Amino acid sequence: MGKLFLTLAGLFGALGVALGAFGAHALKNQLADRALAIFETATRYQLIHAVAIALVALLALQQSNDEISAPLMVAGWRYCIGIILFTGS
């Protein structure tokens, strides 16, 4: 499960960087200032959550057994759901 969270963190991080660059370059003159600020906030939160998922993954990989602890798994999936719900909206 740690490797899955590490993969998801990388994907969400890469997507956050790509969306941030898209917003800064392609949308800068297309959106109103308020809409651009909302877009920037969403991408910033996505990047922060990607780092949090990576930390969950690293903690999971440090556990001696193959099973991830329940609180760690819940935290990882909630971060993923948070990215999808907040950034997706």
Query: 11 Cβ partners below 8 Å, 6+ apart?
Result: none
Q: Is 0.85 topped by the overall pTM?
A: yes
pLDDT single digits (tens) 23-44: 888 888 888 989 999 999 999 9
Mean pLDDT of all residues in the chain? 91
* φ and ψ of 81, to 5 deg: -65, -40
Rounded to whole angstroms, the Cα distance separating 82 from 79 reads 5
Both tokens of 82, joined, read 């948070």
Range of the domain at 62: 2-88
Structural domain tally of the chain?
A: 1
pLDDT single digits (tens) 59-69: 998 886 667 78
* Amino acid at position 17, single letter: V
